[in-house]
Chain A
Amino acid sequence: MENELNTIVAPAQDSWPLPNLPEEIIMQILLRLPVKSLLKFRCVSQSWRFLISSYNFAKAHIEVSTKNSKYADDRLIFGSRDLPVDLYTCSLRSIVEDVSSGSIYPMIDEISTLILWNPTTRKHRVLPESDKDLNLEYFGISIGFGYDELNDDYKVVELLSLERDMNVLEAQVKVYSLRNDSWKTLSNWPCGGTIDECG
């Protein structure tokens, strides 16, 4: 093809070899690839693997893809263990189909194990049990999940409502940090109230 393809970088008569692209342009192109391709192209070379696996690249990639994605707002999902898995901000279908956003989603199975699942890389993590007092009767457990921009961390929030001393309603809030892989109990949570409406 192109006899006019004689660029300064790599003069060529034929279509091959193509001119060399500067690193900055290559990175900008890679940022526009779906994750599936990026996982494959980590194998191209050490430097590509280093670039693609780097934290800054991942952040920039999410920025680029959320700009183009119609699921850009699907950041927070809310469900309850007592109800059929019910996701607050989007349908399960859209999660399964959305392989571009790089987000992580919580899954809740029947035996109360929490699993975080990243549909983009198809990796998952089983969360450790939050330390619940088994002597207490929990009658409402709600789970929230979100991205903590301030700390650049994904967090799971567990809202437990329990009955103590007959009719006194009490709420407990536990927060799991993906970064630390551990639970923290928030103290001094105001008592009682409408936990079901917490979003």
Chain B
Amino acid sequence: MARKNRNPVGKNVDPEAQKKKTRTLTLKSSDGQEFSISESAAVLSIAIENMVEDDCAGGVIPLPLVDGGTLARVITYLNKHAEDGASDEEKRKFDEEFVSGMEMGVLFDVVLAANYLDIRGLLREVRRRIADRMKNKSVEWVRKTFHIESDFTPEEEEQMKKEFAWAWEGVDSDVDD
């Protein structure tokens, strides 16, 4: 976390930060998969940090709301952001590539996990990515993706469409990219 940045090199290394780097935690997914992660990476999640601080970690931290596949992705993100010497520019590039290949379903899983684990940077990145993917989609695609049924009459819908007809220009195909 921020603490290690305050002590770049040299004598004044924070012993607590050092300990976090070498100490490992085990995260357990909803489907029982276990992952090892350094404490310094794990506590980039505010939720995990709180669990560690309250000392209810006890070695294995169960995360019943995150499945193994999603947790593996989240851990990749955390490791990168806890990496010593990774510049901001490097992290920014990593973030972009990290989300760019994800399909909508994966983005949804990751946004839920980032929200639950309270990982602000990841949450921001994924939200932006989802918005970017949906901005040119059709209304029907959005309804299907977000499980929403229309409660407008066809006339009402037509009327609203007429009001801002230009907003319907350039709608993508409904096939997820």
Contacts and interface: CB of A to CB of B under 8 A. Distances in A.
Interface string B30-47: 110000000000000000
Interface bin, chain B: 35 or more
A53 B176 CA distance: 27
Nearest to B176: A15
Contacts of B31: 6
Given A18-B105, A37-B136, A44 B148 contact: yes
Nearest to B149: A45
A45 B148 contact: yes
Interface residues of A, number: 39
Contact of A46 (B30, B112, B115, B151): B151
Interface string A96-137: 000000000000000000000000011000000000000000
A43 B143 CA distance: 10
Interface of A: 1-2, 4-9, 12, 15-22, 25-26, 28-30, 32-34, 36-37, 39-46, 48-49, 121-122
8 contacts: A2-B105, A5-B109, A6-B67, A19-B112, A28-B127, A44-B139, A44-B146, A44-B148
Given A5-B105, A36-B167, 16 more contacts: A2-B103, A8-B65, A15-B104, A15-B105, A16-B144, A18-B105, A18-B145, A21-B146, A25-B111, A29-B111, A39-B164, A39-B167, A43-B150, A45-B143, A46-B152, A48-B148
Interface of B: 30-31, 64-65, 67-70, 103-106, 108-109, 111-112, 115, 127-128, 130-132, 134-136, 139, 142-152, 157, 160-161, 164, 166-168, 171, 176
